[in-house]
Homo-oligomer: A and B are copies of this chain.
Amino acid sequence: MHGTGNGRAGKRRAFAGTDTGRKKRRGKRERFEVRTDLALESREGAERAGKAPGGIAFREWERMGISFTEVEVKNGQGEKALGKPPGIYLTLEAGGLGEKDERCHRDAAEQLAVQIRRLAEQALGREEGQGFPHVRILAVGLGNPYVTPDSLGPRVLGNLQMTRRIAEDGDRPLLSGIVPGVMAQTGMETAEILRGIIGETEPDLVIAIDALAARSLRRLGTTIQLTDTGIHPGSGVGNHRHGLTRKTLGIPVLSVGVPTVVGAPAIALDTVAAVAAVLERESRTKGIGKWMEEMGAEEQHQLVREVLGPELGQLYVTPPDIDETIKLFSFTISEGIHRAFYGI
């Protein structure tokens, strides 16, 4: 086991209920937060934890049956609260996406196109409605094509029509694309591969497509997230080690993703919460549930690590029809990208 000593000690302190122990735990809370790639869920988590969401703007609206949620992380305070770097995180959700309703997916493609266009215009400092003449876009299909829930990016790339080297005379945007593979397949960081290609082909904008990890099972295959902040270390199904951001790649990076897995630790933590609730309901154990709820992230994560074993925090949970989900969303996203840059 790993670090049992400290963990145990921490728990005992927690049990004693000293303020010191509690603060320490709270300070470490982010570190232990179960991973989600959805800013929406990070915000929910922060709210549940009673945090005032300072440095964060939040907007919700609906169009064509699709719910939009925009979380804007405005500064370091917001970044700290959500564990996500500053920028825009936009979520499209609709019941029909999960039910594989084709019309709903078509509407989502159209709405996604509108939003990609908006974020791309902002990222490139262009005025609205100008279009993207001569703009060079590099699409990146992240993930492992041979692992179904990680194959969203490669599948989207397979649906895109690359126009660079074909349409170079015109004034339309020029699309190129790459499926870099994962480190086990290449022996290289994705950031290394992309930096190299960007240096050689000089695109203006990267649009990265990746399968995401959610915190909640009900997000799987029901949500599309679009951001202008790129891909961050530890995100994605494959758990990228290095970021793909304007800072690391030198040009703006939009990213589009769909949650296809939930990390196995999330299941365990949800179980702890459910046990706590049950204990709280019973008169004999009343108080203990509350204590468990309050025992804090550190102890709970300690528990989870004991359950899952040392190396196995990498495990993920995914539904059996994930291949259908991936297939459907890969069309929705590729159509969204095409429409964003080339119209209908």
Binding site for B on A (CB under 8 A): 11, 14-15, 144, 146-148, 150, 157-158, 162-166, 174-181, 183-189, 192-193, 195-201, 217-218, 237-239, 264, 267-268, 270-275, 278-279, 282, 284-285, 288, 291-292, 299, 303-304, 306-309, 312, 314-324
Contacts and interface: CB of A to CB of B under 8 A. Distances in A.
A312 B148 CA distance: 18
A270 B188 contact: no
B267 A292 contact: no
Contacts of A165: 183, 187-189
Contacts of A303: 271, 274-275, 278
Given A162-B184, A196-B196, A309 B217 contact: yes
A312 B217 contact: yes
A76 to B, nearest CB: 30
B184 A192 contact: no
Contacts of A217: 308-309, 312, 315
A272 B309 CA distance: 15
Nearest to A166: B187
A324 B273 CA distance: 35
A157 to B, nearest CB: 7
Contact of A320 (B11, B14, B239, B270): B239
Contact of A196 (B198, B279, B324): B198
Nearest to A262: B315
Nearest to A165: B187
